[in-house]
Structure 1
Amino acid sequence: NFIEESEQKELPEDWDIGYKILIDKDGITKQMLKPTYQVSIIKKPSEREFQNLINDFWWDTTYVAKCLARDEIFYAKFMSETVIRTEYLIPLIEWHIASENNWNITTNKYGRLFKKYLTQEMWTKTENTFSGSNIKENWTALFSMADLVSEIGTELSNKLGYKYPDKL
């Protein structure tokens, strides 16, 4: 509960990103720690993390392609939006943004601040990865994701001195 969490020796992750007390008639929040804002700072990936993400992205796109070819939109959307976007595309874009900002930045949760930190060109490429339920639009979005991952992944591998896993 809130009282127990507010008495912790460490601030819960969700609070460390920042909070503001609006009213506290009972003084419950007086002993609360101040946020450090460090929990949400994007961390540089290890070479293994980077390569695993790239490999997993390319592997999982095959499921989307198969589903689209079979007109199975539900599983295609699950894979593209829940798995690929959340587990691969978002972290990759976060790493890209962090690499441009000395690894001392947050983009908040699930890409909330991407538009703020990406160039207009990169934001447009990111927007192109979204689609509705139309199969043809989903193919376009999938190819846009592939292009974006290839571009950002190659750029990051060069910046970080990591080998881009081109032999999947």
Structure 2
Amino acid sequence: WIHRFGEIMIVQMPEEMSLIPADEDGKFPYLMQFMDGNRIDLTLVPFDLINKFVGQDSLSKLLLDKDNCIVEFPPASDRGYLIKKPTEKEFLDCCNEFWWCSTNVAKGLWREELSYAKGILDGPVRDMFIVMLEWHIGMKTDFTVNAGKFGKLFEQYIEKDMWEQFKRTYSNAEYEDIWESFFAMGDMFRKVANGFANAYGYQYPQSDDDRVTSYLKHVKALTKDSTSIY
């Protein structure tokens, strides 16, 4: 029956997948990409569970309720996507995750384990980097904007010189270039995090930064025939 919406390119039904665990919360989504470029994410929900899901996405808009089964439907807005100011604990957790995982990037680069090093760098390390940049944007805008998924709107909100530095955190598959982009990310994280900490009276973990950064530089300088770190 979904073919009545148009010629289908590909469909995903998350609740029927085994590789990626299903939510199993009562709803059944059809994610449909059509050949004409349109996309529909259609979610079917049992009648008695409808109001459980109302309001979960603040951008939702009620188009039709023939049976008056929706108890209350808030006006659509991006309120659920606005950058939220972190507590000091959340700020410190972000810093800790960034620098902790950075040690694994260095290990992977020295061993020339490309996919491992890039996986950690562009996974948990970059995730925290993105979060810190979101907070920077939140600080500048009084936490009234949405920077988009994976920071897709960063260019719109961060300073021009910062955007140029941000681009330097992406590299190709050459180890020396990855090291360079890795250190560029660390430099930028440090600058942004310190600025945020100063603005809100938080304490940036400078000693962690110093020790880890020194370690990263030491690992980079190790010869390939080294049998121990020190």
Tell me, yes or no, whether TM beats 0.5. Answer: yes
Aligned to 2:179: 139
Deviations 1:95-145 (A, max 9, x none): 000000011111121101111101110111111110121111100110001
Structure of greater relative contact order (alpha carbons < 8 Å, 6+ residues apart): 1
| Structure 1: gaps spanning 5 or more residues | none
Measure how far apart 1:19 and its partner are.
5.5
- How many Å separate the matches in 2 of 1:27 and 1:134? 59
Which of these two proteins has the greater Rg computed from alpha carbons? 2
Larger strand fraction of residues: 2
Aligned to 1:11: 55
- How many Å separate the matches in 1 of 2:76 and 2:122? 32
Contact 2:193–2:204, Cα closer than 8 Å, also in 1: yes
Percent identity of equivalent pairs: 30
| Structure 2: gaps spanning 5 or more residues | 1-27, 29-42, 209-230
Larger helix fraction of residues: 1
- How many Å separate the matches in 2 of 1:117 and 1:135? 31
Q: CA RMSD in A?
A: 2.5
Deviations 1:24-57 (A, max 9, x none): 8x969xx683323211111111111111111221
Aligned to 2:163: 123
Deviations 1:4-39 (A, max 9, x none): 2894363233xx2x3679x98x969xx683323211
1:55 is the counterpart of 2:55: no
1:74 is the counterpart of 2:109: no
- Count of aligned positions: 162
AA of the residue aligned to 2:198: N
- How many Å separate the matches in 2 of 1:27 and 1:85? 46
Q: Secondary structure at the match of 2:203?
A: coil
TM-score by length of 2: 0.63
1:65 is the counterpart of 2:109: no
